[in-house]
Amino acid sequence: MKNSSKVENEAEKAKVKSVVDQFEQFWETKDMELLSRIMAHDADMVNSGTDAAEYFVGWESLKESVEKMLPSLEKIKITVKDQVVKVHHSGEVAWFSEVWDWDLVVEGKPMRSEGQRLTGVLEKRSGNWVFVQFHNSLPVR
């Protein structure tokens, strides 16, 4: 790989990391405008949360479900570990994996969820990186 393409790849990786980090920021701030900016609005994208019912096809499905979920969640603090970001040599597609721990209050009760695994795929569209897929899971204990 040439030095210039390696530098470009590192620059794109930093941009992707920023968007992935904004996904955590969204959950802590509940800023739906932020979520809208970092997610593709495709009707056929598929995303999965940790509950069986959290299988979302399309932006509208994800948006509606998240808007219903947010009022029951308070004081969200997320700690990210083991984040790995990769950018395809084309500079147009990226993927990531990480482990994230959640400390929050759910319906008035403090809760901690450790070791959640989050993976996802992002595409560069009109110069901006957006999620086109994510999958969140809990390890079997």
What pLDDT was estimated at residue 2? Answer: 53
Which runs of consecutive H residues, i.e. helices, occur in the chain?
3-29, 32-38, 59-69
Q: What is the pTM of this model?
A: 0.90
Whole-number Cα distances in Å, 88 to 8, 25, 39, 91, 131 = 11, 25, 19, 6, 15
* Whether residue 139 has pLDDT greater than 90: no
Structural domains in the chain, CATH included, are: 3-137 (3.10.450.50)
Mean pLDDT in residue range 48-63: 92
Give per-residue pLDDT as tens, 4-23. Answer: 677 688 899 999 999 999 99
Reported confidence tier of residue 74, pLDDT bands at 50, 70, 90: very high
- Give the tokens for residue 66: 């998240």
Mean pLDDT in residue range 86-111: 95
Q: Give which of 23, 4, 36 is closest to 121, Cα–Cα.
A: 23
CB under 8 Å to 62, separation ≥6 — which residues? 39, 47, 56
